[in-house]
């Protein structure tokens, strides 16, 4: 497993999330990010991922239990589609604030 930084909004400070992914995802991360956004923008794909204009550039995915946004939406897509049959799954790491 590898740790990657996912930027959910290029203009907002603090919009980076630490995500654990299988090594094969980390090695080709740019490809998977490109595939994720291309898939979201394909209006005829018939999936639960959508852009939310009221939330700016954020995307959301309703997985049947909850609405996932930002890094969690990317992780949901990885787990539900790319890593569907894999033993190792992606996960957003818990946020730690140092005050």
**pLDDT class of 92 with cuts at 50, 70, 90:** very high
The CA dihedral of 11, 79, 64, 71, to the nearest 10 degrees, is -10
Nearest to 91 by CA among 16, 20, 7, 15: 20
Output the pLDDT for position 7: 75
- pLDDT exceeds cutoff 60 at 62: yes
Output the pLDDT for position 41: 73
Q: What is the pTM of this model?
A: 0.78
What is the DSSP-derived secondary structure letter of residue 73?
H
Mean pLDDT for the chain? 79
């Amino acid at each position: 497993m590898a740790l990657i930084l996912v930027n959910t909004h290029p203009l907002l400070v603090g919009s980076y999330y630490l995500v654990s992914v299988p090594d094969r995802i980390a090695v080709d991360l740019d490809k998977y990010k490109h595939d994720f956004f291309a898939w979201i923008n394909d209006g005829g794909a018939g999936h639960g991922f959508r852009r939310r204009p009221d939330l700016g550039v954020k995307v959301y995915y309703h997985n049947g239990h909850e609405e996932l946004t930002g890094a969690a939406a990317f992780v949901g897509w990885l787990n539900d589609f790319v890593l569907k049959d894999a033993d190792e799954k992606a996960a957003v790491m818990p946020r730690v604030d140092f005050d």
